[in-house]
Amino acid sequence: MPIFYPTAAFLIMVVLCIQPTSLSAVKVKYSRDPVTKTEGLSLSLKCTVEYKTQDCNIETNWWYENSSARFLLFDPNTYLITVNETETDEDRLRNIFLTFNSLKLQDSGSYQCDATCLNSGTQAKGHLVRLTVTADLNKGLKDSTWNSQSKADPAALALSALILLLWCY
Ligand SMILES: *[C@@H]1O[C@H](CO)[C@@H](O)[C@H](O)[C@H]1NC(C)=O
Ligand SMILES: *[C@@H]1O[C@H](CO)[C@@H](O)[C@H](O)[C@H]1NC(C)=O
């Protein structure tokens, strides 16, 4: 019996010592601020993942979430995701940019970036970034009034010139 307790204590210490280092093998960092932007504009969301090269074969992802759905963003026809990396002494920093060339109203929702070390299974998740895409109130105006006016003017001018010409002769 007396032998059992030191063994248990030793095991607990080993577990406590291993846990923090494996948890800190990968970290996800990015801005927490909600983003509000008008439709049609471009936007780039950046996520930075810090990890240790030797114990992490990294996989990183951006996710989309709203009240009715959650899915991985991977379709290259819809989402432009670019990655670059730098290396310091023991750590690597990977930036994952999610770029919208032209925001749509339905891009509104929450975005989250996460990272997994495939060899150890250690995972780190970022928080949700709220994106609100607002309607471009000038859009309708620009498309209808402005275009029809610029087309109508030369036509009206040509017509009055023709009437003038017919009237003279
Ligand atoms: C959530 O996102 C999906 C996919 O973009 C969309 O079809 C659905 O309408 C959205 N739901 C709400 C409540 O915004
Ligand atoms: C990664 O790319 C972004 C945008 O293209 C750039 O601003 C940044 O400096 C790059 N970072 C590294 C570490 O190359």
Segment 80-138, tens digit of pLDDT:
999 999 988 778 999 999 999 999 999 999 999 999 999 888 999 999 999 999 999 88
More confident residue, 71 or 90: 71
pLDDT digit string (tens) for 6-55? 444 444 443 333 344 444 589 999 998 999 999 999 999 999 999 988 77
Residue-level pLDDT at 49: 95
Q: What is the pTM of this model?
A: 0.69
- Average pLDDT on 63-89 reads 90
Distance 107 CA to ligand 1 centre (A): 9
**DSSP annotation of 118:** T
Answer whether 68 contacts ligand 1 (Cβ < 6 A): yes
Question: How far apart are alpha carbons 95 and 148 in whole angstroms?
Answer: 45
- Does the structure show a pLDDT above 90 at 155? no
- Average pLDDT on 132-160 reads 65
Distance 37 CA to ligand 2 centre (A): 23
Instruction: Name the residue with the closest Cα to ligand 2, atom 2.
Output: 84
> Which of 80, 87, 93, 95 for a ligand 2 pocket mutation test, highest count of atoms within 8 Å of Cβ?
95
Residue 3 burial class via C-beta count within 10 angstroms: exposed 0-12, middle 13-18, buried 19 and up: exposed
Tell me the domain boundaries of the chain: 24-133
Fold of 24-133: Immunoglobulin-like (2.60.40)
Distance 42 CA to ligand 1 centre (A): 20
What would you measure as the largest C-alpha separation in the chain, in angstroms?
125
Answer whether 137 contacts ligand 1 (Cβ < 6 A): no
